[in-house]
Structure 1
Amino acid sequence: MVAAQVTSGVGAEPVRWINPVVGALAAAAGCFAASRRGAARAAGAVATGMALGHTVERIGVRTGLPFGRYTYTPVLRPQVAGVPVAVAAAWSGMGLAAHAVAAVLVPGRRPVRRMAVGALALTAWDAFLDPQMLRHDLWRWARRGTYRGVPASNFAGWLGVSALLMAATEAWVGGPDASEWLVATYGLMAAMETLAFAVVFEPSDPVVAVAGGTAMGAFAVPAAVLALRRRAAGTGAGRP
């Protein structure tokens, strides 16, 4: 995933690497979840995340709810019912990573709070995702918003859909002992997106680098610190 993402950032045809990056993300997230909850539950979480992601995106392009009016271009393929498969896979993969971050930040039997934190963590990722995909002309908004062309309604919709996804993920793989590798996946995405917008993309975009880095970093940094402390203390020792 990292190799494909680096190639996407510096290559002449970044769009062709989106499917490999997202595919590797979803596969890795599923495997990391399986290391803690078993293959069946992890597969259920991945499949549910993809189904939910595809459903809300299909509703979105047809009705404008819950994100606002937008359409997908033919650039990213394959598509099912007008929605790129990679988009559904991205919801699933990063959904698992965001839930793992929330599981570290909100331990114990507090599922509602954990789902709320996970929804916020996943929505933070869109501070990077939407501006990047608009650069590649993968989708277009009917009305440009103030944040690099993204309307505020998009983030409200993301938060609502993310909450639904966190509830589904909690049902499949919920629990405080999340995989440290899923937490690392979230942190890695935050770091690489920040670096990409700051210095790799042409032209660079320091506004998105700061906004996205701050939003994701607010979850990634404390989750990483807590995960490392727990591992050092021996919590969950013996598991990958």
Structure 2
Amino acid sequence: MKKIFRFLLKGFLALVAFLLIAFIVLKLVYNEDIPKGIPGQPADEMAFKILDAIDHKEFTEAKEIHWTFRGVNRYEWKLQQNMVDVYWDDYRVSYQTQYPKISFAFKNGKRIEGEEKQEAIDYAAVNFNNDSFWLVAPHKIMDIGTSRQLIKEDGKEKLLVTYNSGGTTPGDSYLWEVDENYLPIAFKMWVSIIPLDGIEATWSDWEMTDGGFPLSRKRTFFGFQIPITDVKVLP
């Protein structure tokens, strides 16, 4: 028994050491400082070019966007009503994006109250903020509470967007790279929930939706595709 315990302990310590070394290596690789650029009109002009490239006006006029994230959370986002129905397991939350306190929560079709209601609303809020960002992040580059800087890097112009307020993790920054038509192709992230600085995600396979604006159909992070499925836009 002692030999088995010692064997398991050695294995556990070896795994911990491996993970620690891997994290240190990744931290050394992804340890970029947030770049500094030109704020104000030059940055905003680039932001408007990006919004034109992705038909942002048509996006703002869409009635609903439906999608599923990770095969777990299902969303029916009613943009004109500032409301989204969030479904998971036996729960449904009618989440009011601008006035969360008036949201409703249900379990097995029955309305719930008290602590269980608040926990369900909190779950819906956190997940909607994250999952909708991965769906439509380029449309949020001029949201209220954001600031922008024009970055000149590697012979290209890029747009750094910082979310100073709002959302679940204020203070996060994203450096957008675009193609020759100002269509987003990637961003680097400086975010509180990831302890690596400047890690990149790609955005590709843009396709036109029924709402008259395109969405990326393939977003990859660390070589893995972000699991967004069943996307549907109701114009």
User: Above 0.5 in TM-score?
Assistant: no
**TM-score scaled by length of structure 2:** 0.26
**TM-score scaled by length of structure 1:** 0.26
Q: Radius of gyration: which is bigger?
A: 2
